[in-house]
Structure 1
């Protein structure tokens, strides 16, 4: 976020790459052989595995067997959904599927590349040859071991999503139908959305060979945001994929609404939070204010914002007093973390050491800011006569924190978001449940639900949270 002069909040970076012929992602990690441990982990998420007979270049091993199983189910999904969405039959990929062992120097160049090392840590769809390619040495094993089989489902479903675009006329061998409507970031959001629709199909038990529990989605989303663009990437850049908020938002839209709405995404109806740096000073600072400066700047802005929405809702209130404490604040029966709302005193207590400082240093300053905003939100929630415990309070705190965050997207504000801010919020919500805690310490159990509640406020404002 930024004041005038600009304040930047920067997310952690991850490696990502885009082949000129399609989408490719790089996962940090060393190439290594797949192991029995990997297969045992995968088997917990499947009913049975499909032989990799149709995968070109496969060694028939555990990783390619997983990939073949996932692709079998993604194809089954689109055989059913494609006619329903587009009114035409699904056509299989002409070039099929290619597995590449990038750890073997003798591996021949895969389609659309000059050499096997070009694919290291990547998976991509190449429209020129209508083929999907992946690295079985340094991509799928890393995804499986770090994030589980759901991450492999997401990545391969994303690549098939690009094949769907080619068949539906959005892209193709002759190029994009309309670059104005379909810049790269839109194509990537659409593919993320299609991946979300597929994973919902699996979670709902519709897949014949795959199983995935709802509580395993968080790990898949952590894998997805590994592929976010570097902070400061403009959303109009060729090859842009989106920040963590953009990517998770597209996935959740597909998961919640299905493939139909995904097919209608364009630059005219999709808003992205990814943005470029606007000054050399922002870039030089790396976007992070010192924690003390952040808290001071946000306090005044939170006072004004929440006073406005509570007053609009027909209730008078005084903003909560801010007080620093040496230990984790415990003004209610349940712990709320390094920042707590005390309903009897109508105050917010802050401990700058410990968890709050770690979040600020490890994720970014708006991650710390989110913790503060969610406690202010509980104060506004109480002022409007709402309960401070239970799921309604937990969702309300996040929704109002999202509404506040969404207000910072308006360029006329003196205090506005900068590159990486909303991505930091997503990272925080996937790792910690503190922003969703009610005054008794109860919280929404999954990062997926926490992000969904936060997004409701970002997109719909305080009115979407029941205010105004």
Structure 2
């Protein structure tokens, strides 16, 4: 049995084909995406089995050397002063384009590794595709994406050393479902990346801006929309995976080690109806806005009543041009505090994102403007960092209220909707903008603030 980062989606598979044909793969501008410190000595690739000595393996080798040092320090602190044991079988670089290339342990042929990286517990090795995975990740999402993938695989090696073995999972699959183990490995990767971003690594450096494209890679490696969380081999939806990574980043390896079926809830689930599956869980734009307007007003009225305030329903003005609020550009949907209206541009970027990402891209943006109305009703600031985070948190809390609704003709989240929220939060800052048009600097921060409400509900948004 091997533990892999995940199966590449069709989008990444297309990128793999394009890269093999030496056609430029479109993607995120790297900017500060480099992670190698230029003043550090090259670690070389001699310790990597079957390496070609090229730039990709040099990057991978540098990453795994710093991951090893991280666990040399972190493992005793996390697991009762037990020492870290290096990988018995080492590392394998695989040329999946060569049919005669040697296969790494736990596989029959090199092509078995195509588009993937994995940890094999029986051989205690980590292997990666140096042709059709790591270079595509680097070119499209930056070197930080390579770091994230390899740190995830080392997370599986940590699990084996901590006693979560193949036999343990086989004997007690309810205690160790695959999605839980993958979430824990994502969490361990987040803790390592935080260590690097704090400047503690020997060879790696990381600007926080480089995290956004790396998290976008996690969206591509999510399970197909509609996968049941109990499915064998399930890794989680994008929201589950990013959540685990951020938990490790923010709270460290101790939290990761404590992840269990008792304290970890997953949002991934299957479709509940053939109709929802046929539509991919997406409503047309006009239907989304109409149903959302009715439902979120009810949510706001109910929640404000519990806070001792009264909800006054705002007017939604559908406009063809940009919203007319003049205090700042809030994007295609804007809360206008002077007359308590929400201006919605019904042609242009909002409807484009609805088509490109899905209906909960629209839901996330629109609910964040209703969140600004709630802040106004509570006499909370409408500008500044507090307002930006609160708008995202309230939007997340509203999404949480829709997550587990069931029944016919019920307005609820479909499988993949929270992934759409993650995508829009990583891609644009509209949901986070205050009434002056200012917002947090990174998608990582936006997802983190949204996730507070989506995980723990409105009580976690500090509105009282």
Q: TM-score, normalised by structure 1?
A: 0.92
What displacement does 1:98 show? 0.3
Q: Does 1:69 align with 2:55?
A: no
Matches within 5 A, 1:334-345: 334-345=328-339
Give, in whole Å, the separation in 2 of the partners of 1:188 and 1:389: 38
Tell me which of 431, 434, 455 is aligned to 1:459: 455
CA deviations over 1:219-248 (Å, ceiling 9, x no partner)? 111112210011000000001111110000
SS at match of 1:408: helix
Residue in structure 2 matching 1:243, options 215, 220, 237: 237
Offset, 1:345: 1.0
Offset of residue 55 of structure 1: 0.3
- After the TM superposition, which of the residue ranges 188-197 and 84-93 deviates more from structure 2? 84-93
Q: In the alignment, is the contact (CA less than 8 A) between 1:47 and 1:210 conserved in 2?
A: no
Alignment of 1:30-45 (within 5 A): 30=17, 31-32=19-20, 42=34
Question: What whole-Å deviation, never above 9, does each CA across 1:296-322 have from its counterpart, x for those lacking one?
Answer: 000000110011112221122311111
Tell me how far 1:53 sits from its aligned partner: 1.1
Q: Does 1:418 align with 2:399?
A: no
The counterpart of 1:279, out of the listed 260, 265, 273, is 273
The answer (yes or no) to whether the contact 1:330–1:336 under 8 Å persists in 2 is: no
Superposition deviation, residue 21 in structure 1 = 2.4
Structure 1 residue 177 displacement after superposition: 6.0
Contact 2:36/2:59 (<8 A) preserved: no
8 Å Cα contact 1:127/1:173 also seen in 2? no
Aligned to 2:46: 53
Shift of 1:330: 2.4
Q: Pick closer, same or farther for the CA change 1:86–1:405 going to 2, 3 Å.
A: same
Q: What is residue 91 of structure 1 aligned with on the other side?
A: 85
Match of 1:4 in 2: none
Where does residue 3 of structure 1 map in the other structure?
none
Q: Are the aligned partners of 1:171 and 1:177 in contact in 2 as well (CA < 8 Å)?
A: no
Cross-structure match for 1:12? none
Question: What does the per-residue CA deviation read over 1:424-457, in whole Å, with 9 as the maximum and x for residues that have no partner?
Answer: 0000000010000011100111111101110111
The aligned counterpart of 2:127 is: 133
Are the counterparts in 2 of residues 50 and 66 from structure 1 also a CA contact under 8 Å?
no
C-alpha deviation, 1:172, in angstroms: 4.0
**8 Å CA contact retained: 1:185, 1:236:** yes
SS at match of 1:317: coil
Displaced runs of 4 or more, over 6 A: none
Q: Shift of the alpha carbon at 1:336? A: 1.1
1:109-145 Cα distance to aligned partner (Å, 9 max, x none): 2211111111111100011111101010111111111
Partner of 2:26: none
Q: Does 1:433 align with 2:429?
A: yes
Structure 2 equivalent of residue 448 of structure 1: 444
**Residues 422 and 336 of structure 1, relative CA distance in 2, 3 Å threshold:** same
Contact 1:45 1:211 in 2 (8 A): yes
In the alignment, the residues of structure 2 paired with residue 246 and residue 108 of structure 1 have an alpha-carbon distance, to the nearest angstrom, of: 35
Match of 2:2 in 1: 21
Instruction: Give the conservation status (yes or no) of the 8 Å contact 1:47–1:211.
Output: no
Do the aligned partners of residues 175 and 333 (structure 1) sit closer, same or farther apart at CA in structure 2, a change above 3 Å counting? closer
**Who is 1:9 aligned against?**
none
Q: Does structure 1 conserve the Cα–Cα contact (< 8 Å) formed by 2:33 and 2:206?
A: no
Of 423-432 and 408-417, the range deviating more from structure 2:
408-417
Q: Does 1:191 align with 2:150?
A: no
Output the CA distance in 1 between the equivalents of 2:247 and 2:365: 25
The reply to whether residue 81 of structure 1 matches residue 74 of structure 2 is yes
The count of aligned residue pairs is 447
Report the RMSD for the aligned CA atoms in angstroms.
2.0
* Aligned residue runs from structure 1 range 352-371, under 5 A: 352-371=346-365
Q: Which runs of 5 or more structure 1 residues have no equivalent in the other structure?
A: 1-19
Larger RCO (alpha carbons 8 Å, 6+ apart): 1
Give the Cα separation in 1 of the matches to 2:117 and 2:38: 22
Partner of 1:166 in structure 2?
A: 160
Structure 2 runs not aligned, ≥5 long: 23-29
Q: Is the 8 A contact 2:426 2:447 kept in 1?
A: yes
Match of 1:260 in 2: 254
Q: 1:248-327 alignment to 2 at 5 Å?
A: 248-327=242-321
Query: SS state of the match for residue 72, structure 2?
Result: helix
* Residue-by-residue CA offset, 1:12-65 (whole Å, 9 max, x unaligned): xxxxxxxx422253342235499xxx9x97476554231011100001111101
Contact 2:116 2:133 in 1 (8 A): yes
